[in-house]
């Protein structure tokens, strides 16, 4: 007999996501099976902000589940599911009773329109039922693999209601019989004549006065350009991504005019410093409003005090915002984060560069000016707190012991590994963070100069000294020659594994021209680039695994950042190679790129294997296509200086592309690159000239 696992020894497992269908309009999100059914299993349910407000929405026809045949997105925030009731209607091979289930998420919850169509020659009579449950489980408990007992629904005034403290869920369904209690539901008696159709609608509305996030007051704050490309995958991915981004927009309660992008569904429908900044930065070719809202939202919560429990430091930009402390228990241990958590080493540096880049794209002077005190505070953090041991590099350590062990974008506990697979000991000084710090110092100096503030030359000197120290400390020898190490550990030893982190150095200015070429060649090597995008760790490293969260998978945003840097530094062929891998992945995932996918080689896997716990949609994955489009076009404005340069990928390795409706200085601009790589620009605002 095979040995059976002891349930008491079973480790908690995070629910899988890869086969679920998300319908989102932040802060509401519904996750179901591919058949449209929301069952009491895993992470299925309707969530509002950080709570599950419906744990079941189960459709039956005469007590039987209809047979699913397909689903498809139906525009921003909507999904259409199609099923059959083959036991009804005419006999024969062709189904004659069809059920369409159109699910639409909205600012206050979700509604469904259930349409039953009969092409039968005889009348059909049936009972249509939706079973409903509500457990009010917090998102962190669901993520830990748990849940809560169902609450009982009360039925009165034509609605079913569930309450948990101040939070109320109200379900209405015109014409339905209401079934209250723990096993609540809705019931319609239906008779359809030959070739008739009937629709019934039900709606779940959530009232949550203590929610810290809400739907922004205004519509999407960016342009939706018309794009034509030789490679049609670009346009299809852009269309789906912009639909998804429209549904990920959030604002803080009480500040509905400052829009930012939630990090991802389902775990991260809130403000995340690093994620929201990178997403806004990639979206700059479509306008600066999103960047402005993101910058302001994070500036309001910029650190003011020293607090080891929250990792807060003066001038520091926060990492994660929650309504309540976030406790997660999983296979790798426990995580206890405060409601406002500052455990990120890079968000402050990236905030500075987002402000600089938005300024260059034409963010209005008054919006930049109001953020200058926060810029000086952020530079103050870089000066006084970013280098606690005084070795000249930016580093981190979780001194409290209950937060994130790693505080760069690869924030899993095992992300920083030596070539032989050993994990590095903190404090950790990540390689890409030194590039961010160099760029933040240069960008900060440019803003200080432009607005007549002192200290610019000091920051340029700081950047120059950092580059010299970096060159001496980080470059190591490997099987394929010299390369920048992943990090320095607590003993100042280079963590000598080859990872995608080095791609983030490109375009920052910290590398010489020769060093940039070396990094580009390394990224193009099969161990890094023969997957569907750029692997987070080379397949030649001992710690590599194609389904390791940060040591072998492919992340769309990570690949896009490398593509952007390669394009900026003039490495068109490698940029195109990585971008093409990402487009191939997009095609495999129906043009909704997940947070990450497997690092399996394209020679052994015809399509990428899903990472089973990846968020989808996810903000910086959705913005990755804008970064790729920008790399193809190569338009780089400097609105304050009155000039725009255009340096597309040499030779147009991804084909011709035209984008009508990009925004420079707040005005629509058309940029086109023909099949030879020759660019044209039309519609530049007055006062701007091509460089």
Helix axis angle, 572-588 relative to 556-568, nearest 10°?
A: 160
Pairwise CA distance, residues 266 & 49, whole Å:
9
**What are the structure tokens assigned to 43, written together?**
């992470």
Residue-level pLDDT at 364: 98
Cα–Cα distance for residue pair 77/112, rounded to 1 Å: 12
- Residues 6 or more apart whose Cβ sits within 8 Å of residue 363: 288, 291, 292
**φ and ψ at residue 181, rounded to 5 degrees:** 95, -170
Residue ranges of domains in the chain, CATH in brackets? 20-210 (2.70.98.40), 214-673 (1.50.10.10)
Q: Any idea what DSSP says for residue 321?
A: E
- For residues 131 and 56, the answer to whether their CB atoms sit within 8 Å is yes
* Residue-by-residue DSSP string for 399-433: SSSSS-S--SSS-STT--B-TTSPBPPSSBEEHHH
* Structure tokens that stand for 197 in this block: 């159709």
Instruction: Using DSSP, state whether 76 is helix, strand or coil.
Output: coil
Give the pLDDT confidence of 467-484 residue by residue, as tens digits: 999 999 999 998 889 999
Helix (H) or strand (E) holding 355: helix 347-361
Mean pLDDT of 137-144: 93
Q: Which of 268, 356, 357 is nearest to 616 (CA)?
A: 268
Measured CA to CA in angstroms, residue 467 lies from 377, 386, 435, 439, 490 at distances of: 23, 16, 8, 10, 20
**Contact 263/618 with Cβ under 8 angstroms?**
yes
pLDDT digit string (tens) for 484-496? Answer: 999 999 999 999 9
- Model confidence pLDDT, tens digit, residues 97-113: 999 999 999 999 999 99
Q: In this structure, what token pair is assigned to residue 279?
A: 């997403």
pLDDT digits (tens, 9 = 90+) for 585-640: 999 999 999 999 999 999 999 999 999 999 999 999 999 999 999 999 999 999 99
Task: Reduce the DSSP state of residue 36 to 3 states and report it.
Answer: coil
Q: Which of 213, 265, 210 is nearest to 107 (CA)?
A: 213
Displacement of CA 571 from its chain's centroid (Å) = 26
Residue 328, pLDDT > 80, answer: no
Name the one residue in this structure whose structure tokens are 């429209």.
Answer: 246
pLDDT at 348 over 60: yes
Copy the structure tokens of residue 47. Answer: 């969530």
- Please provide the distance, in angstroms rounded to a whole number, between the alpha carbons at the two ends of the chain: 76
Q: How many CB atoms lie within 10 A of CB 34?
A: 12
Omega before residue 566 within 30° of 0, cis = no
Asked whether the predicted pLDDT for residue 11 surpasses 80, the reply is: no
Number of residues assigned to the chain: 691
pLDDT of residue 335: 77
Report DSSP state, residue 339: S
Q: What is the pLDDT of residue 330?
A: 59
Chain-centroid distance, C-alpha 616: 8
**In angstroms, rounded to a whole number, what is the distance separating the alpha carbons of residues 691 and 686?**
14
Longest Cα–Cα distance of the chain, Å, equals: 85
d(CA 358, CA 436): 16
pLDDT digits (tens, 9 = 90+) for 426-466: 999 999 999 999 999 999 999 999 999 999 999 999 999 99
Q: Which helix (H) or strand (E) holds 367?
A: helix 365-369
Q: How many angstroms separate the CA atoms of 37 and 632, rounded?
A: 41
**Tokens of residue 365, six digits:** 């002077």
* H and E: helices and strands count for the chain: 15, 37
Sign of the CA dihedral running 514, 520, 524, 528: positive
Q: What is the CA radius of gyration of the chain?
A: 26
528 with 500: CB under 8 angstroms? yes
Entry pTM: 0.96
Q: Which pLDDT score, from 0 to 100, does residue 105 have?
A: 98
Q: Which of 342, 242, 339, 344 is nearest to 287 (CA)?
A: 242
Rounded to an integer, what distance in angstroms lies between the CA atom of residue 277 and that of residue 620?
9
- pLDDT of 8 > 60? The answer is no
pLDDT value at residue 10: 57
Q: Would the pLDDT of 422 be above 80?
A: yes
Cβ contacts of 179 within 8 Å, gap of 6 or more: 155, 185, 186, 187
Say how far apart CA 400 and CA 67 lie, in whole Å.
52
The answer, yes or no, to whether residue 346 has pLDDT greater than 90, is: yes
């Amino acid at each position: 007999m095979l040995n059976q696992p002891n349930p008491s020894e079973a480790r908690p497992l995070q629910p899988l996501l890869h086969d679920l269908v998300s319908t989102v309009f932040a802060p509401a999100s519904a996750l179901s099976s591919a058949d449209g059914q929301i069952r009491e299993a895993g992470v299925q349910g309707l969530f509002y902000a950080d709570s599950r407000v419906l744990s079941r929405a189960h459709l039956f026809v005469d007590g039987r589940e209809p047979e699913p045949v397909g689903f498809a997105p139906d525009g921003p925030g909507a999904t259409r599911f199609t099923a059959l009731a083959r036991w009804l209607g005419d006999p024969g091979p062709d189904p004659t009773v069809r059920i369409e289930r159109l699910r639409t998420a909205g600012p206050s919850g979700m509604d469904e329109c259930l349409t039953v169509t009969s092409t039968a020659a005889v009348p059909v009579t049936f009972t249509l039922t939706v079973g409903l449950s509500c457990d009010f489980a917090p998102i962190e408990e669901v993520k830990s693999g748990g849940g809560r007992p169902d609450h009982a629904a009360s039925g009165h005034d034509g609605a079913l209601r569930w309450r948990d403290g101040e939070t109320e869920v109200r379900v209405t369904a015109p014409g339905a019989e209401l079934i209250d209690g723990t096993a609540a539901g809705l019931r319609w008696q239906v008779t359809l004549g030959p070739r008739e159709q009937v629709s019934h609608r039900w709606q779940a509305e959530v009232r949550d006065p203590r929610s810290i996030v809400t739907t922004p007051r205004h519509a999407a704050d960016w342009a939706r350009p018309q794009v034509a490309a030789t490679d049609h995958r670009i346009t299809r991915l852009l269309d789906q991504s912009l639909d998804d981004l429209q549904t990920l927009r959030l604002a803080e309660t009480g500040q509905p005019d400052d829009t930012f992008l939630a990090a991802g569904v389902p775990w991260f429908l809130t403000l995340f410093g690093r994620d929201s900044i990178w997403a806004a930065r990639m979206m700059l070719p479509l306008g600066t409003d999103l960047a402005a809202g993101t910058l302001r939202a994070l500036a309001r919560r910029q650190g003011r005090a020293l607090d080891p429990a929250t990792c807060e430091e003066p001038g520091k930009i926060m990492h994660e915002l929650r309504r309540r402390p976030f406790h997660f228990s999983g296979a790798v241990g426990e995580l206890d984060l405060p409601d406002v958590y500052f455990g990120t080493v890079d968000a402050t540096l990236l905030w500075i560069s987002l402000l600089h880049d938005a300024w260059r794209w034409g963010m209005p002077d008054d919006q930049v000016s109001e953020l200058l005190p926060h810029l000086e505070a952020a530079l103050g953090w870089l000066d006084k707190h970013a280098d606690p041991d005084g070795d000249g590099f930016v580093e981190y350590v979780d001194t409290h012991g209950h937060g994130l062990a790693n505080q760069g974008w690869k924030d899993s506990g095992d992300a920083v590994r030596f070539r032989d697979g050993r994990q590095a000991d903190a404090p950790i000084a990540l390689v890409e963070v030194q590039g961010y710090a160099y760029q933040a110092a240069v960008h900060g100096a440019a803003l200080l100069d432009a607005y007549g503030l002192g200290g610019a030359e000091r920051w340029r000197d700081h950047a120059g000294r950092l580059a010299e120290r970096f060159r001496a400390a980080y470059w190591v020898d490997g099987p394929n020659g010299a390369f920048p190490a992943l990090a320095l550990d607590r003993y100042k030893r280079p963590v000598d594994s080859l990872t995608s982190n080095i791609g983030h150095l490109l375009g920052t200015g910290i590398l010489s021209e020769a060093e940039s070429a070396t990094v580009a060649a390394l990224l193009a090597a099969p161990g890094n680039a023969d997957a569907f995008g750029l692997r987070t760790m080379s397949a030649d490293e001992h710690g590599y695994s194609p389904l390791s969260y940060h040591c072998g998978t492919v992340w769309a945003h990570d690949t896009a950042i490398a593509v952007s840097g390669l394009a900026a530094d003039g490495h068109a062929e490698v940029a195109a190679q990585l971008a093409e891998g990402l487009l191939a992945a997009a095609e495999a995932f129906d043009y909704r790129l997940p947070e990450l996918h497997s690092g399996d080689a394209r020679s052994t896997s015809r399509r990428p294997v899903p990472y089973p716990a990846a968020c989808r949609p996810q903000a910086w994955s959705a913005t990755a296509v804008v970064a790729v489009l920008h790399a193809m076009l190569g338009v780089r404005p400097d609105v304050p200086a009155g000039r725009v340069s255009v340096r597309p990928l040499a030779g147009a390795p991804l084909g011709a592309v035209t984008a009508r409706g990009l925004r420079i200085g707040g005005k629509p601009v058309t940029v086109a690159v023909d099949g030879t790589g020759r660019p044209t620009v039309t519609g530049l605002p007055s006062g701007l000239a091509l460089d």
